[in-house]
Structure 1
């Protein structure tokens, strides 16, 4: 499957955790009011009610865009999305506090084997958002920086503590690196972005990053902040600092190039999409569960293996059929080409490829 970056990018600064509704988001204006084409023939105008979503802060900009544009074709539906973090979103969905979850990590096996308050049986993971994770930094006098997986692992595990350390200097000949302590900023919450970041460094630098991949940051180093917006805010007031952050939240921060194979590679949605296209779905899951086993060691030219795939998590069958129809209608819209292109424009994400979009639409169509 081939996923490509479509449309121009509008930079959005995320100033803090918010609750987004389709009405409120529409008032702020997304810039895209074209009616989408339903993949299943759903008549959005006949839908009515309120949906509550919770989870991924990386999805925040995309969810605002989707909610705003969905309001144009489903005026009877209000979509409230709270960017509480992926872990909190899954917990809220499992307990029935949210009708669907946004998560940068698919449901764990132990979560899948448990019960879901709103579901008659199981839940499914549907990919809706693909984005590169940036290694963003703020160092006075440094605007061009290249890092590899081992150096990134060393910095974020606390083993490399100075900006002019030999490991960094060797990758950046001719760059005037300061003799300054590195301030590491990481996520404080249960985060799918942390899960994806730790999967990358674990896969490519396991001799340095000795902790197992996790949704909670494992090392006692640096400062922490909650959510994408919290990390962005912490970086804004920090000096000589570095973080990992979904590209949609990086704002004006400088972003390091990543050594992919033997080439210094710039961050791009196309590169993130390339890696997802080279990856397989996780085996052993239900037919409509599309969790992706990301190829973290992809060294194809232009690839960006520090990527996250973010999911909408929903019941396969809802106990409340009316609620199921609302979730199905909204997600049916989210995986349309129109919705994916709108999110790509606003959030620096990659639209789902036609192949993955078709599979996602089929999974959405199976929701009852």
Structure 2
């Protein structure tokens, strides 16, 4: 599959800018640990969809290493990749892997003095969240979802919605479709799904920056959730871990409608191929959004962590290696599952990723 994501350079947010100004030299400040273990500050950032999981990982890892501070700035996938390739972040989280559509992969290779490491850290469903008066459960076909976000289906009682919701009283009300206003890997995965399964209803392809004026924009995952929650007759898309009390759409897969559970999302890796032509250090997937496999939830993201195989100093290398090892551990994967509702990586894939992390060292 050809990726057509728009990945324009982002201006880091205030928090990210502060990190760059105060810790950019190596994204770490070393010290001497009282227990003889790791010490220092590790700065990373990126996908806001990872925020809940990152908070759990940071707390768990810092609990084991009292002299280590891990910062994660949820500036968005695009901001994470940009700050990683420029050297502002020692590691980054992204809901899309690196490509050279806009030179990001080459920039990462230059920064890392070699092929960057890209490893999945979890699989998570992207929930289509809604807040519709009097509606507790909602089934939608791919074409209906695409039409809503394309602005061609504008009323909640439209026949395209009513047909899959027999017995549900849908209001004769205007749909407010909320999308991400920032460059977003979640948007990239969501529009990739739409372009794969409903190309006529969604003719805009896979994009990380929202391509049309229809709907309402909101910044970050939390912004979308807030807009849907505080609005009326609203719908949006967000990492399922942050859906809160909002309703979540059951999406048509084959003859069934499947909800965004971690177990259903994890099944997509079983039917999805690896990205062709990648370096051995890149464990990336082309998700099969068109699968008809029973019980599979198709709107998902495989969230990635990006790091270098070598760093200029040993402290940076040790901190990145230690933190990523915790993320991939059984304890780390359980923490993300409990906190963020994500699906843990299959054991074989986690072991493959750990082998890459084990090789991180100083130049």
Aligned to 1:214: 207
For residues 267 and 72 of structure 1, the distance between their equivalents in structure 2, rounded to whole angstroms, comes to 31
Structure 1 position 76 matched with structure 2 position 58: no
How many residues matched?
A: 328
Cα deviation code 1:231-258 (max 9, x no counterpart)? 1111121000000110011000001111
Which of 253, 259, 264 pairs up with 2:257?
A: 264
**Which runs of structure 2 are paired with 1:188-337 in the superposition (5 Å)?**
188-337=181-330
Structure 1 position 363 matched with structure 2 position 356: yes
Structure 1 position 53 matched with structure 2 position 53: no
For residues 219 and 200 of structure 1, the distance between their equivalents in structure 2, rounded to whole angstroms, comes to 17
For residues 216 and 244 of structure 1, the distance between their equivalents in structure 2, rounded to whole angstroms, comes to 14
Asked whether the equivalents of residues 164 and 180 of structure 1 are also in contact (C-alpha less than 8 Å), the reply is: yes
For residues 353 and 122 of structure 2, the distance between their equivalents in structure 1, rounded to whole angstroms, comes to 11
For residues 126 and 286 of structure 2, the distance between their equivalents in structure 1, rounded to whole angstroms, comes to 17
For residues 282 and 191 of structure 1, the distance between their equivalents in structure 2, rounded to whole angstroms, comes to 20
The 1:45–1:227 alpha-carbon spacing in structure 2 relative to 1, beyond 3 Å, is farther
> How far apart are 1:54 and its partner, in Å?
0.9
SS in 1 for 2:222: helix
SS in 2 for 1:281: coil
Cα deviation code 1:249-278 (max 9, x no counterpart)? 100000111101110112210011000222
Aligned to 2:176: 183
Cα deviation code 1:124-163 (max 9, x no counterpart)? 2110021001011000001111001111000001110010
Structure 1 position 63 matched with structure 2 position 54: yes
Cα deviation code 1:166-198 (max 9, x no counterpart)? 111111111111110000100011101001101
Asked whether the equivalents of residues 45 and 76 of structure 1 are also in contact (C-alpha less than 8 Å), the reply is: no
Cα deviation code 1:17-54 (max 9, x no counterpart)? 989xxxxxxxxxxxxxxxxxxxxxxxx96211111011
For residues 144 and 236 of structure 1, the distance between their equivalents in structure 2, rounded to whole angstroms, comes to 16
Structure 1 position 143 matched with structure 2 position 139: no
For residues 85 and 36 of structure 2, the distance between their equivalents in structure 1, rounded to whole angstroms, comes to 29
For residues 115 and 107 of structure 1, the distance between their equivalents in structure 2, rounded to whole angstroms, comes to 8
* Runs of 5+ unmatched residues, structure 2: 1-13, 17-34
Moved over 4 A (4+): 115-118
Using structure 1 for the length normalisation, give the TM-score. 0.86
For residues 18 and 277 of structure 1, the distance between their equivalents in structure 2, rounded to whole angstroms, comes to 38
RMSD: 1.6
SS in 2 for 1:286: coil
For residues 280 and 51 of structure 1, the distance between their equivalents in structure 2, rounded to whole angstroms, comes to 33
The 1:290–1:183 alpha-carbon spacing in structure 2 relative to 1, beyond 3 Å, is same
Asked whether the equivalents of residues 116 and 281 of structure 2 are also in contact (C-alpha less than 8 Å), the reply is: no
For residues 219 and 198 of structure 2, the distance between their equivalents in structure 1, rounded to whole angstroms, comes to 26
The 1:323–1:141 alpha-carbon spacing in structure 2 relative to 1, beyond 3 Å, is same
For residues 36 and 273 of structure 2, the distance between their equivalents in structure 1, rounded to whole angstroms, comes to 36
Structure 1 position 168 matched with structure 2 position 156: no
> How far apart are 1:122 and its partner, in Å?
2.9
